[in-house]
């Protein structure tokens, strides 16, 4: 629209601000397939995290995160951006103590009966070589799996560590030595009260023929190989040794122990598992 100014010139009249167009909410539309989804959300999200550390009180690391909720059968989809909003609402770093709050916030913000949080991260420890005493940083894998179902919360701590195993059969039948290999042990537990990640690592490493080290000088290699030779274990021995320690721990109420040996002279891996409950 044009109007005439006092000087006789034409100027354009200001226009009123147009309202923003309404955006369709496709996720909230009705779905007619009548199929409930157990878990829907985001996965492979990287985020800073702080965890409890025996040596330094707090350890900063980076986690790979999955966040999920259930979806009732009548809804077409969930709002993925809301998971990120929940995570960012708890600050730039996740603290382990916030896990319950995050689960509750997902239930509320996404109108869900259940919520799930997966947090997997590298956990670091400084270890001294057995003979030289040289220090090196070892990395392990730790994981939290937490689920809120209504008012109830289930929490599972998982720790994975690599070890050395030496074959008892090979040692018994061979004249010149015995084959050994790297093994991987995964321990998952439910707890009455908190259990240190370092304590689970110690259980795993003490159950093998020998633990691994980041730094080994020649005298250390001698010590490690001789220790392994003097302490041969099958993959079956490995899981049983860990379970004996878990059975004696007053705070552990459920566990699953898995061991896998990456065989050095077989074209397959050896595996064993014990689960309680």
Which tens digits make up the pLDDT trace of 151-201? 999 999 999 999 999 999 999 999 998 999 999 999 999 999 999 999 999
On whether the CB atoms of residues 40 and 68 are closer than 8 A, the answer is: yes
pLDDT, mean over the chain: 90
The domains of the chain, with CATH numbers, are 33-275 (3.10.270.10)
Beta-bridge mates of residue 259? 185, 272
Give 12's Cβ-side CA count (13 Å radius).
3
Radius of gyration of the chain (CA): 28
Q: In degrees rounded to 5, what are phi and psi of residue 46?
A: -95, 135
Q: Could you read off the pLDDT of 23-66 as tens digits, one per residue?
A: 655 566 666 777 889 999 999 999 999 999 998 889 999 999 99
Q: How does residue 15 score in pLDDT terms, banded at 50, 70 and 90? A: low
Q: In degrees rounded to 5, what are phi and psi of residue 66?
A: -125, 135
Residue 10 has pLDDT above 80, yes or no: no
Q: In degrees rounded to 5, what are phi and psi of residue 174?
A: -95, 145
- What pLDDT is recorded for position 232? 97
Give 85's Cβ-side CA count (13 Å radius).
10
- What pLDDT is recorded for position 186? 98
- What pLDDT is recorded for position 234? 96
Q: Could you read off the pLDDT of 73-131 as tens digits, one per residue?
A: 887 778 899 999 999 998 888 888 899 999 999 999 999 999 999 999 999 999 999 99
Q: Could you read off the pLDDT of 216-262 as tens digits, one per residue?
A: 999 999 999 999 999 999 999 999 999 999 999 999 999 999 999 99
At 222, list the tokens.
């001698």
Residue 20 has pLDDT above 50, yes or no: yes
CB atoms within 10 A of CB 215: 15
- 29 CB contacts (<8 Å, ≥6 apart)? 75, 76
């Amino acid at each position: 629209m044009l109007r005439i100014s006092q000087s006789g010139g034409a100027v354009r009249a200001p226009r009123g601000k147009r309202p923003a167009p309404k955006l369709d909410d496709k996720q909230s539309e009705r779905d007619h397939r009548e199929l409930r989804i157990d878990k829907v959300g985001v996965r492979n999200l990287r985020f800073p995290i702080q965890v409890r550390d025996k040596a330094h009180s707090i350890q900063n690391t980076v986690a790979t995160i999955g966040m999920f909720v259930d979806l009732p059968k009548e809804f077409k989809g969930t709002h993925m951006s809301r998971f990120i909003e929940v995570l960012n609402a708890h600050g730039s770093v996740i603290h382990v103590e916030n896990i319950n709050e995050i689960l509750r916030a997902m239930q509320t913000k996404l109108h869900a009966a259940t919520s799930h949080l997966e947090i997997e991260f590298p956990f670091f420890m400084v270890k001294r070589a057995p003979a030289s005493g040289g220090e090196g940083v070892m990395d392990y894998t730790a994981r939290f799996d937490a689920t809120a179902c209504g008012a109830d919360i289930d929490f599972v701590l998982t720790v994975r560590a690599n070890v050395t195993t030496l074959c008892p059969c090979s040692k018994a039948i061979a004249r010149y030595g015995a084959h050994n290999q790297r093994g991987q042990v995964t321990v998952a537990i439910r707890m009455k009260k908190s259990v240190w990640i370092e304590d689970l690592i110690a259980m795993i490493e003490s159950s093998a023929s020998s633990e691994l080290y980041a730094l080994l000088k020649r005298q250390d290699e001698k010590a490690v190989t001789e220790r392994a030779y003097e302490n041969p274990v099958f993959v079956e021995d490995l899981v049983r040794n860990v379970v004996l320690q878990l059975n004696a721990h007053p705070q552990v109420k459920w566990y699953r122990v898995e061991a896998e040996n990456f065989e050095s002279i077989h074209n397959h891996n050896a595996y064993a598992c014990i689960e309680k409950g």
